[in-house]
Every structure is written in C-alpha cells, then in structure tokens.
Amino acid sequence: MDTSNKAVIENPVMLPGTEPASGQRPSTIKKAIVEAFIKLNPAVMIKNPVMFTVEAGFFITLILTVFPGIFGEPSDRIYNGAVSMILLVTILFANFAEALAEGRGRAQAESLKKSKRDVEAKLLVKDGSIVPVFSPELRKGDIVLAEANDIIPGDGEVIEGVASVDESAITGESAPVIKEAGGDFCSVTGGTRVASDWIKIRITAEPGESFLDRMISMVEGAKRKKTPNEIALNTLLISLTLIFIVVCATLVPIGSYVDVHIPVSTLIALLVCLIPTTIGGLLSAIGIAGMDRVTKFNVIAMSGKAVEAAGDINTLILDKTGTITYGNRMASEFIPCGGYSIGELSEAAAESSLHDETPEGKSIIGLSKKLGERLPTVKNSIGIEFKAETRMSGTDFPDGRAVRKGAVDAVRRYVESFGGTIPGDMDKLAEGIAREGGTPLAVADGNKILGLVYLKDTVKPGMKERFAELRKMGIKTIMCTGDNPLTAATIAREAGVDDYIPEARPEDKLELIRREQGEGKLVAMSGDGTNDAPALAQADVGVAMNSGTAAAKEAANMVDLDSDPTKIIEVIAIGKQLLMTRGALTTFSIANDIAKYFAIIPAMLLLAIPEMESLNLMGLETPESAILSALIFNAVIIPILIPLAMKGIEYVPMSATKLLRKNLLIYGLGGVVVPFAGIKLIDLALAFVL
C-alpha cells in the first residue's frame, strides 16, 4: 500500500468514461463553450447572484454603448463598449468553468448509461417455470435466474447458488468477483455479467431506482444539490454584493456634492471589480469538481454534503479484518520445541504445505524461503487436504513418511495415535502465542512434533504511517474488532490506531458513533454487512462496499465500487482538499479586491481631484486604462484559476493552524500581490496599443 495520499490521489482506478482534470477531451471543451453562451439566459444566471449582477452591468453598459447619452450624460461610446465587452467575457469565463465541470459529469453519466440497457431476464414464477421478460418489467421482490454470460437484469441479492460475476461495466476492474447466497457478498448490480455458474436473484429495486440510476444522477453535476457550506458561502457573497451595490450607489450623491461627475460605466466597473466575482464564478465548479474527484476513485457519493463532511471528520472508525489487516492469517515465525532445530521445523513445515494453496500454506512456504530452506519436490507426493473433522493438512511421501500441520490439540492426538511423545514445552509455547493474539499451528514429522508455526493476521504495510498522517490532521482512529482484548491490543499497537474496541458487536459500533457525535464530533465509518447498516446510517460519512449487502449500500451516503475498506482515508483527503480549495480561492478572491480598489478609485476621482494622484500607487497611465486594466484582470483571472478549481489544491496532512497560516501566506498575500503586477502589465499593454 502506498503511504502517500498524494500518490494515491494521483493514481486512482478510473471509472469508465472518466479522465484527468488536466486532460479534458476537445469535445467536452467545445460543449462547455456552447453551454457558456446558453447560460447567459437571465433565468439561469439569477441562480448565481454575483454573476447575475455582472450580467446586469453588462446590459446597462451595452445600452449606453448603443444609445449614448440615454441617462442624460455625455457618453463615450468606445469606452462604454469596451467595458461592456469585458463584462460579457467575464460572465462567459465563469459560465465556462461551471459548464466544463458539469460536462465532465455528463460524460461520465453517458458512459454509465451505456452499461444500462434493457436485457431479457429469466423470471421464476411460483410454479417453478421460467418466463422471459425484459428488465423494465421486473419489480421489487421478483426472483430471476442468471446463468453464465447472462447480463444481470437489475439490482438484487443472491438467494441461491454461487457465481463469478464480471463487474467491469461498473467498476472498470476486469477480475470477476464471487457472489453467493448469504453473508456480506450477496449483493449484485444490474448491468453486470455472470461469468460462470448460476445464481438466483431477488430484485431489490424498482425500475428507475437502481444503483446504476442513482450513480448516473449523482455524477451529472447539473443535478446536484448545493451543500450547506456552499450555501453559507453563497449567502456571504450575496451579502458582500449588496453592500458594494449600496457603496457604489452612494458615490453618486457624494460626487455631486463635491462637484465630481462619475460616469455610470465607471460605477459599474467599480462595482464588478469590488464584488467577489472570482469566487462567484468558480464556486459551483469547485463543488462539482469535488464530487468528480471522488467519482474518479470509483466512489459514488450520494450527496455533496457527504464529501464536505469527510473534510471535517474528527473520528474514523474502521473494522480490523480486511481493513487494517489482510484478513488472512500469515506465518510470521517458526518456534521449535522438544530440542529440535529451527531448520528441521522449517523444512517439515514447508513439506506439509506443498499442496496447500491457502494463504496460510503459501505464507509458510514463503517464510521457509526467507530462512534459506531448499523446498522439497512435489513429485510423487500426495497432498492431504484440511478437513473440519481432522483440523490438519499435510503431505504423504512415497517412502511412507508423513508430515502434518494443524491445530495443536489435533496434531497431539495424531502423534499420540502413533505412539509418539509430546514435547514438554509445547503447551507453554502455544499459550504464549495465543496470549499475543496469534494462532499456533503444530508441525509433526511422523510421530514427532518438531515445533509450532506462529500465525497472525498481519497488519497491511503502511497502515501505521497512514494513521500517523490522520493524527496530524487531528483525526482520531478507532479499530473495531470481534477479537478478544489481547489480540485486539496487539493489532492496535502494531497498526498505530489511537483506540480500539474488542469483542465489538453491531450495537457497540452504533453506540460508539453516537457517543462521539454527542461530543460534537463528525464520524466516518466503512462497512459492508447488514449488521453494519445502522452504524453506517448514523455516521456522518458512511462508506459501504459495493460487494456488501443492499442494506449497507442503502444506509451509507457513499458506495465504494472497488470494495476497498481503506479507501475511506482517501475520501477524507478529498473532502479536505475540497474545503481547502474553496477556502483558498475565496481568500484569493477577496484579497485581490484590494489591488483593484487602488486601481479604480484614484482613476475615478483623478480628473476632478488632482490630489488623488498620490493614491495612484501603480503609476497607471490614464483613468480609462486603469479602469479597463482592472476589469480585464478581473475577467482573465477566472480562466487562469479554472485548472486549480478543477484539480484542487494539493493536500498535505497538517494541523488546522499550519494550514490556515499557509493559505493566508500563499492565497491571501498572493491575492494582494498578483493583481498589482497583473493590472500594471495590462495597463502597459493598453497604453502601447492605444
């Protein structure tokens, strides 16, 4: 596992039809350009009050250009026309940013729609016969048969049979997965294909309400709901806009009082430059792109609120098996007993695993290789499979020699049946392994027990480093496991989690989440079973595995198509990246108003009050070029920031204080300095042209 969040974020498994933010398809860009003009409709623009104000200014200056002097004042048609055109370009750039983000979502949705097709289903009726029907005719509760090469007609749960299912149409992964009745791997998705064998499926969704339908609606950015944080920021932007409208309106009577005439176009230019147009134009694109980044991880977020909540998570609850550990017991040590050497034990253990294809058997051979043992040949030997009755497995050789490995008590009985003796230190060594949370396997060569193999559920590489990163963010990690307290403590210590809950039941997880939330914390959790559904529903961010049950997927607000429980850590990183991007661009947008203030205010009053020249800190050439330069910078900064809004700010785990300091330094100070330089360069260019 890669321990770098940055590395993981840059190399996700791609949902069919997705593409990197930095590599937009030409067709998507062309559609976004067309959509930018369509969005000029005032009925659409009014949904974004900041940009609607800019559009209103565009119409007023356009009227002044076509009908000079309409407001009873001398009008400069060229100047008004220049202001009008710059305002139009500003609106188009903002619309383009939003359309580009929405277009990527639509492209993904179109790809998913190709997976959604009407197929013929084999409906099982009460008398046991099969009736062919088309998938739209199926209803919740219907039972269908799916055989090899059949397309699964709808979402459901396997109630009988075992089959290998190709889910590449949904996940992009070519390797089939096993689906069987009962347990946590019984859920199937409409549009996937049965690769082999057969299964009977109970349909769990009505037409139009399937998982694929919900995926399509979620990735279509235009249909998304604004998140609470986005609504709050939008309210702030509207408030600032109203304040600056009042400020600009009061300049007219104040100017008249001191005998200073301010042209309407100049007032509109001042208003547009002072209101937060940069973040106003990019706000929607940032939210849509955040959802898109989650989708690129093959995670479907059922709401933008869940993505944002992930960025504010305080507590992360994880299962042990399959999440923190591999879930398979692995050989970690050979412990000889009875005076035998580690070499003798290692050789016998490897011989007993020659025909063992389980993860345990392979890990024993792997450990023996590390110790430099030469593996025996499989030729002419006979493998003895593990059985629940014997609780042993092993190998019989042509010369009559037999080696066995298995549970300590089972191997003891096996050796005693041949008249062998039990090493005096075996029981003590076995108890020591158990106390450390491991599983002891005894190894016998004929009627001699050579020693023990220490099996333990191995912690995945890099988990300790990843939990350390979460700790830097202020996120508390809690491991929930059904293991005994001793085993749980051992794994928790190795993994580096902050706390653990041993012998955890479903109600214990639910109670833990409620307790954390009662302390004002936001909680994230991953799960896949029906017994996880209450906790997933209670958590602020619940990530269900696609391989899990329908109940778990219904309860969660995110679904991981790859069924990787550790991916919740990436989801948290993306949530934080979304919040950081929005906060940073808001800081930049408000900060760059300072430079535009020093450009336009002196230019407005310079002709009537020559003393205002002292405020012309940038040394701009003329009042008209100063105003046009500020307007042009205000327009071009939007497309310049589009890649940042779409890709997001690079996320590096750090405390909130350090993060605030960094953003203020880069985007706060940068938001002041960059416009000064940009406006001056544009002014020089205008002076050269004019």
Catalytic sites, residue numbers: 319
- Per DSSP, the chain holds a count of helices (H) and strands (E) of 24, 20
Q: How far apart are CA 536 and CA 559, in angstroms?
A: 11
662 membership: H or E segment, kind and range:
helix 656-663
Q: Is 127 annotated among the ligand-binding residues? A: no
Torsion on CA atoms 427, 428, 434, 440, rounded to nearest 10: -50
d(CA 279, CA 1): 37
Asked whether residue 390 is marked as a ligand-binding residue, the answer is: yes
Confirm whether residue 333 is marked as ligand binding: no
Token pair recorded at residue 480: 């929930």
Decide: helix, strand or coil at residue 438.
coil
- 149 burial level (CB within 10 Å; 0-12, 13-18, 19+): exposed
For residue 417, CA distances in Å to 421, 446, 580 come to 10, 11, 69
Residue 116 marked ligand-binding: no
Q: How far apart are CA 86 and CA 628, in angstroms?
A: 8
> Based on the number of CB atoms within 10 Å of its own CB, is 26 exposed (0-12), middle (13-18) or buried (19 or more)?
exposed
Known binder of ligand: residue 1? no
Which residue from 232, 389, 413 is spatially nearest to 305, judged by alpha carbons?
A: 232
Helical pair 228-257 and 49-66, crossing angle rounded to 10 deg: 40
391 is in an annotated binding site: yes
Cα–Cα dist 166/191, whole Å: 10
- Is 115 assigned a ligand-binding role in the annotation? no
Q: Is 603 annotated as a binding residue?
A: no
What whole-number distance in Å separates Cα of residue 394 and Cα of residue 360?
13
331 annotated to bind ligand: no
344 is in an annotated binding site: no
The verdict on whether residue 388 carries a ligand-binding annotation is yes
Return the closest-CA partner of residue 343 out of 307, 372, 365: 372
Whole-angstrom distance, CA of residue 65 vs CA of residue 79: 8
Structure tokens at 258: 């001191």
CA 114 to chain CA centroid, nearest Å: 24
Residue recorded with tokens 């960025």? 311
Token readout for 688 is 């050269």
Residue 220 annotated as binding site: no
Residue 104 annotated in ligand binding: no
Measured CA to CA, the distance from residue 218 to residue 212 in angstroms comes to 10
Is 596:630 a contact under the CB 8 Å cutoff?
yes
Give the annotated binding-site residues for Mg(2+). Answer: 528, 532
Which residues make up each annotated binding site for ATP? 356, 360, 386-393, 405
Output the known binding site.
356, 360, 386-393, 405, 528, 532
